Amino acid sequence: MIWLTWRQFRVQFLVIAGVVLAAAVVLAATGPGLADDYRAFADNFIKNLGFARLNPVLYQVGLALLYAVPPIIGAFWGAPLIARELETGTHRLAWGQSISRWRWLATKVGIGGLGTIALTGALSLAVTWWSSPIDKAINAGQESNFYLPRMFPVTFSGRGLVPIGYAVFAFALGVAVGLAVRRTLVALAITLAAVILIQVLAPSLIRPHLMAPTDQNIVASADNLRGFMISGPGPDAQIKAIEVAINAVGGWKLTDETVDKSGKVATLPQWAIDCEPNGPNRQETSTKAEACFQRLAAEGYTQHVRYFSADKFWALQWREFGLFFLLALALTGFSFWRIRRDLS
């Protein structure tokens, strides 16, 4: 059965394996140089990165590949695995041999699943390793408006274990959907759409609930102010909200809201418009803003922030990976249940 599975699966496998291998070779070739630069430039590492044009490209290609692999594996490995057999009737040929349906399914899912873990794992390892100097420099506080901390949603899904979890989930989803709808193309489309949707929604809908974030109340000041939202025309502008920096460098801020002294969520009073930085007359504004911030503090207004600090990266990675791995197991359980029932 292993032979047959491999014989049917090898083309799809080799295509993705080829891409992963090519990416891994390029990353392996350029990675050591990047690591050397990191040691050589130390605090100026990120500033110097831009001189080699290849680096930003590789950084993004690595991320893009890790985003692309799960939906592709789900749609092109998972969905056709059973659906194509059911569609062409070849499952009846296979089941007419001396092999049980469970073994048949277990071999197919086993080989596909291991292939998924191996390839996504290898790619994620390569990308994570290649990017580690950049991630370290960013987490150490080096400024950049191109590279994001690895805790940020976009980067987080393209590092470590999470892509493997997504890919395994996508594969199991494809298999289960294929078994349920029995049409290769339909299963492929559903799987592709569902996995992409999960990738888009997981950071905002699932990830914040996987761990308890850090809660903190921060007194806004001219120094830690990071955002100032106003609406309306010039002189009568309304203040909407302000944002502050968290002390944790490289952390991912989930919420940032103004609370009053009783701890309730509040809107800022209108006079807080004076805190607006960078007015036309800089000197004057800055004294006015100073007074404004003092008044905010005196009246008990603080910014309540929730965030995941950078050191929770691996704990959060494991949890998200674990969640999707469990979902994959549940979907596979469904597939094993379904295969025992009538399919002819």
Partner 1 sequence: MTAALQAHGLGKKYGRRWALTDCNLEVPSGHVVGLVGPNGAGKSTLLNLSVGMLTPTSGSVEVLGEPAGTQQAKVGYVAQDTPTYSRLSVADHLKLGARLNPQWDESLAQQRIQRLRLDPKQRAGKLSGGQRAQLALTLGLAKRPELLILDEPVAALDPLARREFLQDLMEAVAEQELSVVLSSHLVSDVERSCDYLVVLVDSRVQVSGEIDSLLATHHRLTGPRRTAKELPSDQYVVTESHTDRQSTFLVRTERPILDPAWSVTQLTLEDLVLAYMGREVQPERPVLEVQR
Applying CB under 8 A, which part among 95-103, 117-125, 182-190, 208-216 lies near partner 1? 95-103
Instruction: Kindly tell me which of 97 and 278 has the beta carbon lying closer to partner 1.
Output: 97
- Tell me which of 44, 48, 60, 100 binds partner 1, using CB under 8 A: 100
Identify which of residues 5 and 224 has a Cβ nearer to partner 1 in the complex. 5
Q: What is the Cα–Cα distance from 295 to 275, expressed in whole angstroms? A: 10
Q: How far is the CB of 36 from partner 1 (least distance, A)?
A: 48
Find the part of the chain contacting partner 1 (CB under 8 A) among 26-34, 180-188, 194-202, 335-343: 335-343
Supply 63's token pair.
């991320």
Which residue from 39, 51, 97, 281 is in contact with partner 1, where contact means CB under 8 A? 97
184 binds partner 1 (CB under 8 A): no
Q: CA separation (Å) from 302 to 6, 261, 326?
A: 61, 8, 40
Per-residue interface string for the shown chain with partner 1, residues 209-248, x marking contact by CB under 8 A: ----------------------------------------
Element (H, E) at 166: helix 162-181
Site for partner 1 in 7-46 (CB under 8 A): 7-8
DSSP states along 261-322: TTS-B-PPPGGGGGG-SS-SSHHHHHHHHHHHHHHHHHTT-EEEEEEE-GGGHHHHHHHHHH
Segment near partner 1 (CB under 8 A), from 44-52, 94-102, 245-253, 287-295?
A: 94-102
Q: Which is nearer to partner 1, 3 or 51 (CB)?
A: 3
Total count of residues recorded for the chain: 344
Instruction: Say if residues 69 and 167 touch (Cβ distance below 8 Å).
Output: yes
Q: How far apart are CA 287 and CA 275, in angstroms?
A: 9
Q: In the numeric block, which tokens belong to residue 294? A: 């003092």
Of 166, 142, 148, the closest CA to residue 317 belongs to 166
Stretch that binds partner 1, among 83-91, 122-130, 154-162, 203-211 (CB under 8 A): 83-91
Q: Which residues pair with 302 in a beta bridge?
A: 259
Question: Is residue 95 within the footprint of partner 1 (CB under 8 A)?
Answer: yes
- Rounded to a whole number of angstroms, the minimum distance from the CB of residue 7 to partner 1 is 6
Nearer CB in complex with partner 1: 88/287: 88
Measure Cα distances from 190 to 180, 198, 204, 295, 335 in Å.
11, 12, 22, 55, 16
**Residue 99 or 330 with smaller CB distance to partner 1:** 99
- The helix-helix angle for 101-139 and 313-339 (nearest 10°) equals 170
Is residue 94 part of the contact set for partner 1 (CB under 8 A)? yes
Strands 252-259 and 238-244: unpaired
Contact present, 175 and 335 (Cβ < 8 Å): yes
Stretch that binds partner 1, among 88-96, 192-200, 230-238, 309-317 (CB under 8 A): 88-96
Binding site for partner 1 (CB under 8 A): 1, 3-4, 7-8, 88-90, 92-100, 341-344
